[in-house]
Structure 1
Amino acid sequence: MTNPIRLLVHGANGRMGQSLQRLCRDEDTGCIVVAAVSRKVGARVVDGIPQFAASELSGVPAFDVAVDFSLPEGFDALLGLCVARGAGFVSGTTGLSAAQEAALADAATRIPLTWASNFSLGVAVLHDLVERAARALPGWDCDIVESHHTRKLDAPSGTALTLGDAAGQGGATPHYASIRAGDIVGEHLVQFTTAGERIELIHRATNRDIFARGALHVAARLKGRSAGRYRVADLL
């Protein structure tokens, strides 16, 4: 691997964190994980990757891009570290506060970054389709139904809210419904309805690796870019 992208994985013990580390180890992603950060640390090195607790964040080695799939409680410290070190920032952490959104906007004036509720290419396309449909169907009802596994905490999902923003940009007023059942990876239905007819736009994810691969793809293309906030669609 020539000049691989050095990654810091934040939220390393979560499902996405585990997927990121496994893909970097087993596939030619162009990235290597130089450190992994989680709330608590057992072994100090796992599969050759140094492990750090969240309280030890300032001591991680040099990295090009941090990839963050964690909780809002750990978001501020990591974003601040990336700004201080001039590193790229890729995050899929949802449930951010207004203050954290403002900090993200401020950081984008100093480093390249991407925040997205969903890193699949299909959802990036769905976002565009939803806005176009809303614009073309004024006065139609717009409903967004999202389904996820029972361990998912936030509802509506971040992806559902992002799709709702797209609908709003097209002039619709979205309504939301959430389902938590079994081990559903992620399904999003955007429905436009009027008297006598209905349009459904659906994205189904059946493997969580698609999100991890998308995040790695974005991270690899974020390195070396000028400061700014980039969409997944800009980089995939």
Structure 2
Amino acid sequence: MRVAVIGAAGRMGKTLIEAVCQAEGVTLGAAIVHPESSLIGADAGELAGVGRQGIALVGSLEAAKDDFDVLIDFTTPALTQQNLDFCVAHSKKIVIGTTGLNDAETAHLKACADKTAVMFAPNMSVGVNVCFKVLELVAKTLGDDYDIEVIETHHRHKVDSPSGTALRLGEVVADALGRDLKECAVYGREGQIGPRTQKEIGFETVRAGDVVGDHTVLFATEGERVEITHKASSRMTFAKGAVRACGWLAGKEVGLFDMQDVLNLR
């Protein structure tokens, strides 16, 4: 599988290039940067610190359309929509780690998956996806007797809140308990809000420093607490998951998948 990385000059983009170059079964086919970037023409491998790869940075997907089979997209919701349309039009597969999509953008993503293979996950870490699976069991076992809070911490540059991973953690727990997260979620608390309701799922967000990503789901009742925590110390954990997903998509022509499918956790 020939992989293209868009947003190649960013922190995540450079890590993705490094992960592709280190992985077996995939090759770096293209690296795309902003069309006005001064880096256009530079070697993608040298930019990522993995040595010359013979892949020059380009300023658009159109310029790379003959050089890749699957696109890795960790960009912004608006740009991801454009990239989805490009992949559908040119029969390319796509792995999406973009977070912060609204309902309309998510619906567009699902529609595109009827025409090409789409792997979409708010967090591609293997460890986080194991946590998703574990949380189903924990939530079903503990039931409604436990208060549930989702606490997440990320670096100061993250623009969406709560994180996509935090929301997915909440969705997993809500689904296991037969709740609708849109109805029971409480985002932050301030002032005289009264006592906690039995079935709400709370979210607390911290933005500070260079934290890659910490997530905890807290189950608490009188006399005990259970905490499921995942801490990421490097973006490489997300990059390796995304590259693994690229290889997994090799046998898929259409459909919407996530990391639970890639890891056979269904």
Q: TM-score, normalised by structure 2?
A: 0.81
Residue in 1 aligned with 2:74? Answer: 69
Question: Is the 1:95–1:158 contact (alpha carbons within 8 Å) kept by the matching residues of 2?
Answer: yes
Q: C-alpha offsets along residues 60-85 of structure 1, whole Å, 9 cap, x if unaligned?
A: 23221000011112111110111111
Residues 41 and 52 in structure 1, CA contact (< 8 A), matched pair in contact too: no
Q: 3-state DSSP class of the match of 2:229?
A: strand
Q: What amino acid is aligned across from residue 244 of structure 2 in structure 1?
A: H
Question: Which runs of 5 or more residues in structure 1 are unaligned?
Answer: none
- In structure 1, the residue matched to 2:193 is none
Cα distance in 2 for residues equivalent to 1:105 and 1:162: 17
**Partner Cα distance (1:30, 1:42) in 2:** 31
Equivalent pair of 1:186/1:204 in contact (CA under 8 Å): yes
Could you tell me which residue of structure 1 aligns to residue 209 of structure 2? 182
What's the secondary structure of 2:143's corresponding residue?
A: coil
RMSD of the alignment, in Å? Answer: 1.5
1:119-138 correspondence to structure 2 within 5 Å: 119-138=124-143
Quote the sequence identity (%).
37
Q: Distance in 1 between matches of 2:252 and 2:61?
A: 24
Q: Counterpart in 1 of 2:5?
A: 9
State which structure, 1 or 2, has the greater radius of gyration over its C-alpha atoms.
2
Does the Cα contact within 8 Å between 2:41 and 2:58 map onto a contact in 1?
no
CA distance in 1, matches of 2:150, 2:8: 31
Corresponding residue number in structure 1 for 2:58: 52
- My pick for the range that moved more, 171-180 or 10-19, is 171-180
Shift of 1:34: 2.0
**Displacement of 1:46 after TM fit?**
2.4
What TM-score do the two structures reach when normalised by structure 1? 0.91
Aligned length: 229
Quote the residue 2:235 is aligned against: 208
- 1:59 positional shift: 3.0
Selected match of 1:37 from 7, 32, 36:
32
Matched, 1:24 2:20: yes
Does the residue aligned with 1:177 lie in a helix, a strand or coil?
strand
Distance 2:28 2:42 in 1: 11
CA distance in structure 2 between the aligned counterparts of 1:158 and 1:95, rounded to whole angstroms: 6
Q: Secondary structure at the match of 2:150?
A: strand
Structure that is richer in strand per residue: 1
**Structure 2 Cα separation of the partners of residues 173 and 130 of structure 1:** 17
Specify the code of the residue in structure 2 equivalent to 1:14: G
SS in 2 for 1:182: coil
Deviation digits for residues 85-128 of structure 1 (CA, Å, limit 9, x no counterpart): 11111010011122210111111111111111110111111111
Q: Structure 2: give runs of 5+ residues left out of the alignment.
A: 44-53, 178-198
Cα shift at 1:185: 1.1
Alpha-carbon shift at residue 22 of structure 1 (Å): 2.0
Letter in 2 for 1:17: G
1:156 is aligned, of 159, 162, 179, to 162
CA contact (8 A) 1:167 1:173 kept: no
